[in-house]
Amino acid sequence: MGRCVTYNHVVVDQRTDEDRAADRLFRALADTTRRDILRRVLVEPASVSGLAARYEMSFAAVQKHVTVLADAHLVVKERRGREQMVRGDVGTVRQAAALLEQLEELWRARVDRMSAVLADLDPGPRPDPGRP
Partner 1 sequence: MTVLSTTPDTADLTLVVVADLAATPERAWSLWAEPRTLERWWGPPTWPATFDEHDLRPGGGAKYHMTGPDGTAAHGWWSFLAVDEPTRIELEDGFADEHGVPAAGMPTTRMVVELEPGGTGTIMTITSHFASQEALEQVLAMGMAEGMREAVGQIDAILAAG
* Chain residues in the site for partner 1 (CB under 8 A): 1-4, 6-7, 9-10, 12-13, 22-23, 25-27, 29-30, 32, 35, 38-39, 42-43, 88, 90, 93-94, 96-97, 100, 103-104, 107-119, 121-122
Q: Which is nearer to partner 1, 60 or 90 (CB)?
A: 90
Q: How far is the CB of 60 from partner 1 (least distance, A)?
A: 24
The full DSSP string for 15-56 is TTHHHHHHHHHHHHHSSHHHHHHHHHHHHS-EEHHHHHTTSS
Q: How far is the CB of 15 from partner 1 (least distance, A)?
A: 9
Calculate ∠ Cα 96-101-105, nearest 5°.
150
Q: How far is the CB of 82 from partner 1 (least distance, A)?
A: 27
User: Which among 77, 93, 73 has a CA at the least distance from the CA of 85?
Assistant: 77
The amino acid at 3: R
